[in-house]
Structures are given as C-alpha cells and as structure tokens.
Amino acid sequence: MERTLTIIKPDGVEKNVIGEIIRRYEEKGLRVVALKRIKQTKDEAMGFYIVHKDRPFYDSLTDFMSEGPIVVIVLEGEGAIAKVREIMGATNPEEAAPGTIRADFAANIERNTVHGSDSPESAEYEINYYFSQLEICG
C-alpha cells in the first residue's frame, strides 16, 4: 500500500471539476485518506515547490499556485504514485495521452490542472507539507 499527494490546482477548482477529478482516481481503485480545500500564500507555494527554485518557471508557477483555492488530497492504493501520474498525463497537455486529466482539462504546461508526487521521497515531503498525522486516516 502506497500514499501519494495530489493537488487540484487553481485552474481545476475554477473549472468546477473537483468531483470529476476525484471520480477518476476512485475509478482506478485509489482511496481518499485526507482532503482539504485551501488558499495558500506565495511563500507557501514556494516552499512546496522548493525543488524547482532554480527553474525559470518557478516565479510564475508559484504565482499561479497561490492565485486561488486548491484542493490537496492524500490518495492511498497499490502503486498509488505511478497510478496517479498515469491518470494525470504528461506535464505538457499537448503531450498528454487522450483521456488523461491534463489532456481533458489543462490549458497549457503551467496551468495543467493537477499535481502528483513523483517518488516515495517527494510523496513523504509533500504529504507532510500540507497534512498533520491527525488529519490522515486510512
């Protein structure tokens, strides 16, 4: 059993597809074990994406991730990290496979609707970034 962090980004919340996105995860056997809707500050978004601090898109990305509410979710299931990445599709929606969340909803490489942890190490950092132990129950 594995846990991963997924985020419905501000563009996804604005498009009113929170339920549709969670449905796609549940349909593939993943379970929600923690969930909340929050609006983070620029600093909080910068801390979350600290691994990208030297990338050219960091400033714009963290503006975007703090422009409106997001939904942060811990999903649990067998191979949850890889499964979520597959359901999300490629970072650039133009390269995302048909039927993936990003192919269906993302506007461009930045406003790409969802986040998913990319490794067990990042999942641990990301889950602990938004949730306390008390908020997660399997």
* Structure-block tokens of residue 85: 């990445």
Binding of ligand UDP by 61 (CB under 6 A): yes
Q: For residues 33 and 81, which CB has a smaller minimum distance to Mg ion in the complex?
A: 81
Decide which of Mg ion, ligand UDP, none touches 70; Cβ closer than 5 to 8 Å per partner kind: none
What's the closest the beta carbon of residue 131 comes to Mg ion, in angstroms?
Answer: 18
Catalytic residue among 115, 116, 127, 130: 115
Q: Which residues pair with 72 in a beta bridge?
A: 7, 36
Binding of ligand UDP by 70 (CB under 6 A): no
Look at residue 107 and give its three-state secondary structure. coil
Q: Cα(136)–Cα(22) distance, rounded to whole angstroms?
A: 17
Residue 30: which of 38, 42, 21 has the closest Cα?
21
In this structure, are residues 105 and 111 in contact, taking their beta carbons and an 8 Å threshold? Answer: no
Binding of ligand UDP by 91 (CB under 6 A): yes
Residue 115 annotated among the catalytic residues of the structure = yes
Residues at the site binding ligand UDP, with contacts judged by CB under 6 A: 52, 57, 61, 91, 109-110, 112, 115, 118
Q: Which residues are catalytic?
A: 115
